[in-house]
Amino acid sequence: MNCETKYLKTWCSVDLDAIAHNYNYTKSRTGSRIICVVKAGAYGHGAVQVAKRLSDEGCDYFAVSSIEEALELRLGGINADILILGYVLPERICEAIENGISFACASYDFAKVLCSMPLKSTAKIHIKLDTGMNRTGFNICHSFGYGQLKAALDELKEKENICIEGVFSHFAKADGDASFTEKQWGYFKNAVDFINENGVTPKILHICNSAGTYNYSSMHLDAVRVGVHLYGCESGGDKNYVQSMDFCTRIVDIHSLCEGDGVGYGQAFIADREMKIAVIGAGYADGIFRCLSNGKGYVLIRGKKCPIIGRVCMDMTMVDVSAVKDACVGDVVTIWGKALPTEEQAKNAGTISYELMCSVSPRVPRIYENN
């Protein structure tokens, strides 16, 4: 037993060696620069700790979603390049610039605001293109998007303290729809040509996410953005990727049910036979999805899958351990991890592994292995 978990009721183990392995495996598959995506606390793993280990492995570029996430890395001692993929409030643009943080320019309105500011230092921006995701970015799937893009470029390129460092987009279906991915790729290439023709030559072009990096080596460009594959999930069955998170708790009580006994809030489960149930020390406030209630999900105890019965509570969950004859209070319970893959539990919850990892509560201690 890990000495750091010996006295913990619920915890999340993060295997930094696994993350390093996944990074290096990805690195072996591309000659492009790898932008490691550590937004949302590195998908629940802990952004600073993960970025430090990845820096040790040679990563010199990180991507986040917000100015707050970028500053967390800076305050944590991460001096590498950082790109904010999401929106930055105009009031915080100077803060990003002062900390050497690059950020996205996704609209003409944002470009106008940036150009109107009396900048003391150089703003490093990446033009964000919408190639079919229909989320944010200059929509270059339609002619009106090119008009807005040209207007933005005309203003931006005239400003001495604005550097158009990069251009990027995001694949919507790179994990399974080759024709749509090719379509997005075509839109992106045409837009880059247009940007070059308008007197701007960015040095960093990037469009591949994890799935794009894995499936489309011809589209790697100057950099690829790798997120979920760093954490060993959504890898399409490639066993070279190693899952890096184990979400665990303990049995805190064991008791018997007689036929007809109900369990928990609303008595949502009624025993149809004599049963042995365990109460485990984590609930939806820790990250066990409530939709896993009443047989939709299960946990792993002493190597056996034990179904969740009744409704997942805020701080506790009940599971059927009738088949685990030697189960006892204090036993480790795997909610998901290497032995019970996150993707498997996510399927039970009707979602994806991203959501499960990001939903582990801040109140759950992260324990770092191989730190």
**pLDDT 10s digits, 302-320:** 999 999 999 999 999 999 9
- Work out the pLDDT band at 2, boundaries 50, 70, 90: low
Q: Where in the chain is the domain with CATH 2.40.37.10?
A: 245-340
Measured distance CA(64)–CA(39) in Å, rounded: 4
Per the residue annotation, which of 6, 7, 25, 39 is the catalytic one? 39
Residue 157: active-site member: no
pTM: 0.95
* Cβ-Cβ contacts under 8 Å for 131 (sequence gap 6 or more): 137, 140, 141, 169, 170, 183, 184, 185, 187, 188, 191, 207
Asked if 273 contacts 259 with a C-beta cutoff of 8 angstroms, the reply is yes
The pLDDT of residue 371 is: 74
**Percent of the chain topping pLDDT 70:** 99
Q: At residue 95, what is the residue type?
A: E
Fold adopted by 245-340: Lyase, Ornithine Decarboxylase; Chain A, domain 1 (2.40.37)
Indicate the average pLDDT of the chain: 96
Fold adopted by 16-231: TIM Barrel (3.20.20)
- In which residue are the tokens 């550097």 written? 163
Question: In 3D, which of 5, 12, 15 has the Cα closest to residue 244?
Answer: 15
**59-95 residue pLDDT tens:** 999 999 999 999 999 999 999 999 999 999 999 999 9
State how far the alpha carbon of 326 is from the alpha carbons of 282, 304, 330, in Å: 21, 11, 12
**Percent of the chain topping pLDDT 90:** 92
Tell me which of 187 and 269 has the higher pLDDT: 187
Q: Where in the chain is the domain with CATH 3.20.20.10?
A: 16-231
Measured distance CA(284)–CA(312) in Å, rounded: 7
Compute and round to an integer the Cα radius of gyration of the chain: 24
The pLDDT of residue 237 is: 87
Question: In 3D, which of 311, 196, 201, 328 has the Cα closest to residue 253?
Answer: 328
Residue 25: active-site member: no
Question: In 3D, which of 35, 149, 118 has the Cα closest to residue 84?
Answer: 35
Structure tokens at 333: 């319970």
The pLDDT of residue 261 is: 85
Burial 181-192 (b: 16+ CB within 10 A, else e): bebbbebbeebb
State how far the alpha carbon of 78 is from the alpha carbons of 43, 204, 229, 312, 321, in Å: 18, 21, 21, 39, 45
